Structure 1
Amino acid sequence: MNKLTGLTVAAAIAAIPTAGVTASYNATIAAGHPPVFRWVRMISESFIPTVQAELEGSGHSMTFSEQYGGAIAGVGEELEAVEVGLAEIGVCSSLFDPAKLAVQNVTYYTPFVSDDARGVNALMHDLHKTDPRMTEAYADNNVVYLGAPVGIDDYLLMTDFPVESLADLDGRKIAAPGPAINWLSGTGAVGVSGNLTTYYNELKTGVYDGVIVFASAALPGKLYEVAPYVTKAGLGAQFSGALCANMDWYDGLPADVQAALTAGADAAQAWYMDALEGAVETSLTTMAAQGATVTDASPEMRAAWAAGMDNAAQTWAASLDAQGKKGTEILELYMNAMRDAGATPLRNWDME
């Protein structure tokens, strides 16, 4: 064997991965909601298979343990589970963890801005990727934003009584998630805090008379059975959370494994939005076919609802400013970005 041939063979041997460089990683994924919901299904159906496909041939592999439906963390407890390492990855629900992911809830303090779920989803993801102010809260809690933002389709009002005007809400108990309870200010309704895991039973037993919810979750939750009057009020599409990873665990991963997780999150985002858009119209038509009465709120009702609300966005922003967080900056950032993207808010919450 001449010298050149020997070097070529040696180089070829060196390029072949050996057992010594193969590494297998384990990741527990937590979600408080059960897998009937789309933002949990995206993990099994897109995120995990994409990560594993990205790692093929890399010398690395990852095994996932999926813990959903409150198995190790309830709704709003996912961030804490990831923060302390009880889970490596989680659906960090900013909507239900407003103390730790405060600025992420900016969309919920700005209703009547846009009903375009894909647009809100893409814009919030872009802000997380490009503006450090959006990810400070993650770092403060020892987690990393992976992506796969959970965009929520336009919120509806579902009640066990017909609604033709705001006057019909007077004195009625209406449940809403997290800061969305502020949307009921000025309507005469009594706001009650709630979430999708409890809506059905509490409507059925009369704990409240209606809920603020979105179509793509109302159908699988069978809410039309107990709240058959569906009012499309254009309350707006929202951002409610995203996949996050434990920072210590993530920082200890090789770059190609980190890249695989990002690719998985990107794939999950695309899967989620395609599935969401396909489900919204189907949800409304199916609920109607099952006996629900679906109506559009009149422009007058929508205008009166928006005009009568307290400006919770300004209060929220000022409260965060007082805590040393960038509430006013984030409110202006989001509203300006939405207007630049073509949205026409019924109220310019940042300008009042």
Structure 2
Amino acid sequence: MRNSITAGMLAVSCALPGLALADSFNATVVAGHPGVFRWVKMVDEAFVPGVNAALEGSGHTMSFDGQYGGSIAKVGDELETVEAGLAEIGICQSLFDPAKLAVQNVTYYTPFVNDDPRAVSDLMDELHKSDPRMTEAYTQNGVVYLGAPVGIDDYLLMTKFPIADLGDLDGKKIAAPGPAINWLSGTGAVGVSGNLTTYYNELQAGVYDGVIVFASAALPGKLYEVAPYVTRAGLGAQYAGALCANADWYDDLPDEAKQALHTGADAAKEWYLAALEGAVETSFKVMGENGATITDASDEMRAAWAAGMDNAAKTWAEGLDGQGIPGSEVLSLYMDTMRGEGATPLRNWDQE
């Protein structure tokens, strides 16, 4: 009887090739940063519920295991971890993986362009979905772009000393993430590579005199305790990464599950941006209440800063061109699209 039932099920399956059998899938999600940061919170708060909601009625289910704070992948190692199949999904951070996700760092080479994280996130998400030059790096590294861009609010300076003009930065050790070190060229400051996981302790120990950071991370990181002078200079909102999936695992999923992952990523993007916009205002308020001195750089200081910088964007783009990567094309694509959306850059990095 058992054999008859099995044969009958196979016959039905063959007769109805469009009929998908129910499956349960498991996915480990990795992030090098701990769960206190918003781009990690979005996984459990919005991505997972979004995927589950999209799968309702499909007959498929998906379970997730979040492994954050470097438990499996350190900051910048997320893509390699997903590529190797040690996790199915990760927050692939282009900011800390510039060799493999080169063109994704275009925003970090173009400061003083747009300080609106929603505008930057929407644009980068759309470019990834519409232009194959933006996703080629994912394909080459065995992963798939899902979405949920990690938009970063306008970068600013947090220092142990007040800043009235650029001369105050001369000789000071300022930490910055990845290519943001280039923003210090022409200021007289000494750029030091760093990231949010170490900023507090190294500021406290005197390794740095200040950091380039953004308000929504400065508050949970309590950086105002060790660098109480906050200078808003309009360095710009940025794109730092997105959710990616192991390509082999993704390719084996039924279409309903694939679409659910992208739907969940869209939900995470909206949750993240809404939460971020509220958090920026709150961050400045709370830091001020806790003793931080918050000032806005003058237009003259901002103009002098932008004018004095090396055009690292052109150097970066041309270096990628020499490797067969469309750096100059992506630089022009980003800047042209930004200007088309109404942005007024302090420097047109692609046109010099």
Secondary structure of the corresponding residue to residue 197 of structure 2: helix
Task: Work out the CA distance in 2 between the residues paired with 1:325 and 1:21.
Answer: 42
Q: Secondary structure at the match of 1:59?
A: coil
* Local SS of the residue matching 2:295: strand
Q: Report the residue type matching 1:116 in the other structure.
A: D
Task: Give the letter aligned to residue 143 of structure 1.
Answer: V
Q: Deviation of residue 55 (structure 1)? A: 1.3
SS where residue 211 of structure 2 aligns? strand
- Tell me the residue number matched to 1:118: 118
Identical pairs, percent: 74
1:323 maps to 2:323: yes
What SS does structure 2 have at the residue aligned with 1:135?
A: helix
Unpaired runs of 5+ residues, structure 2, are: 1-11
Cα distance in 2 for residues equivalent to 1:270 and 1:326 = 30
Matched with 2:311 is 311
Query: For 2:64 and 2:282, how far apart are their aligned partners in 1?
Result: 32
Give me the whole-angstrom Cα distance separating, in 2, the residues matched to 1:200 and 1:88: 31
Structure 1 residue 254: Cα displacement: 0.2
Query: Displacement, 1:57?
Result: 2.1
1:25 paired with 2:38, answer no
Q: What's 1:223 paired with?
A: 223
Whole-angstrom CA distance in 2 between matches of 1:191 and 1:288: 26
Structure 1 residue runs without a partner (length 5+): 1-10
**Counterpart of 1:284 in 2: which secondary structure?**
helix
Aligned position for 2:256: 256
Residues 1:40 and 2:40 are matched in the alignment: yes
Q: Could you tell me how far apart the structure 2 residues matched to 1:273 and 1:145 are?
A: 19
Q: State the alpha-carbon separation in 1 of the partners of residues 334 and 55 from structure 2.
A: 35
Q: CA deviation at 1:198?
A: 0.2
Shift of 1:319: 0.4
Q: Quote the Cα distance in structure 2 between the aligned partners of 1:220 and 1:288.
A: 14
Cα deviation digits, residues 138-163 of structure 1 (max 9, x gap): 00000000000000000010000000
**Residue of structure 2 equivalent to 1:164:** 164
What letter corresponds to residue 92 of structure 1 in structure 2? C
The answer on 1:193 being equivalent to 2:197 is: no
* Local SS of the residue matching 2:345: coil
TM-score normalised by length of structure 1? 0.94
Q: Which amino acid aligns with 1:285?
A: K
RMSD of aligned Cα (Å) = 1.5
Counterpart of 2:285? 285
The offset of 1:59, in angstroms, is 1.1
User: 1:60 and 1:98 mapped to 2: Cα distance?
Assistant: 36
SS in 2 for 1:123: helix
2-structure distance, mates of 1:124, 1:279:
21
Deviation at 1:21, TM superposition (A): 2.2
Equivalent residue pairs, number = 338
SS in 2 for 1:346: coil
Aligned to 2:147: 147
TM-score normalised by L of structure 2: 0.94
1:3 aligns to what?
Answer: none
Aligned to 1:85: 85
Query: C-alpha distance in 1, partners of 2:319/2:297?
Result: 32
